[in-house]
Amino acid sequence: MTDPKPYEPPKVWTWDKESGGTFASINRPIAGATHEKALPVGKHPFQLYSQGTPNGVKVTVMLEELLAAGHDAEYDAWLISIGKGDQFGSGFVGANPNSKIPALVDHTGAEPVRVFESASILMHLAEKFGAFLPASGPARTETLNWLFWQMGSAPYLGGGFGHFYAYAPEKWEYPINRFAMEVKRQLDVLDRHLADNEWMAGGDYSIADMAIWPWYGGLVKGWQYGAAEFLDVASYTNVVEWAERIYARPAVKRGRMVNRTAGDPATQLHERHDASDFELRTQDKLDAAE
């Protein structure tokens, strides 16, 4: 039996078939809408269109933290089911031409303002309410350092390691080893930093913590890719302790429920339109009412 012939890239790449694996049907090499579908608009100043992935959780945690702190940040959270291609509807593409969740539309001004990319949404809300981001000086810079560290690093965790370890149609040693090495390096960056800091920016809890926690906190808590043992996440004790400190916050627990469609139905709140929804409209209660 001979080894298969090594892959040789063509001179010009063309898209002639899906690559296989989880999410293959929602990936394509072109942008734009595939169908007409307007976005719903609720009664609150902020309209969020998202799903409870790590990038989506960043924003729902921020909104719930703002509400917990007494800010007028009421919001409607509409489910965008990426597995069904909702992100390619014309309304969503209008809110985010990159067709990725989350997208926020701010209706607090004379004209609606679209905000896309999770870090941009966090900064928009932080600056609007003067919360979770220092207004100036070194503390602001350090917060933004870590916010953008997450934005640059998480693609290696999700799109790299997560894809090849959990979602690719086959297990391939080279990419798994390559991305596992990088994820462990990132965990070490966090662990060394958190050895001397309670929160990511070194001062108060901030949008840097909210951005990093859904990815790396979820990883060390065993929620991501079934890879906790493989990556020996328990050895990053400072990251584990930081992740637990954040998960102890009631607003974080609520934020993680919003637009969630997997796991325990009692923790799934597919859409959020009122604070009472956490008690009355989780998926287990909707199922029981049918």
* pLDDT digit string, tens, across residues 196-239: 999 999 999 999 999 999 999 999 999 999 999 999 999 999 99
Over residues 22-44, the mean pLDDT reads 90
**Structure tokens given for 144:** 């933004």
Q: What angle do CA 242, 251, 186 make, to 5 degrees?
A: 30
Beta-carbon contacts of 86 under 8 Å, excluding residues fewer than 6 positions away, are 37, 79, 80, 92
Tally of CB atoms within 10 A around 52: 26
Phi, psi dihedral angles at 288 (to 5 degrees): -70, -25
Give 18's pLDDT tier (boundaries 50, 70, 90).
low
Specify the pLDDT at position 2: 60
* Phi, psi angles (nearest 5°) of residue 123: -65, -40
- SS3 of 4-59: CCCCCCCCCCCCCCCCCCCCHHHCCCCCCCCECCCCCCCCCCEEEEECCCHHHHHH
Mean pLDDT of the chain, nearest integer: 95
The string of pLDDT tens digits covering residues 50-105 is 999 999 999 999 999 999 999 999 999 999 999 999 999 999 999 999 999 999 99
Query: What are residue 113's DSSP bridge partners?
Result: 106
Q: Is the pLDDT of residue 117 over 60?
A: yes
Domains of the chain: 137-250 (1.20.1050.10)
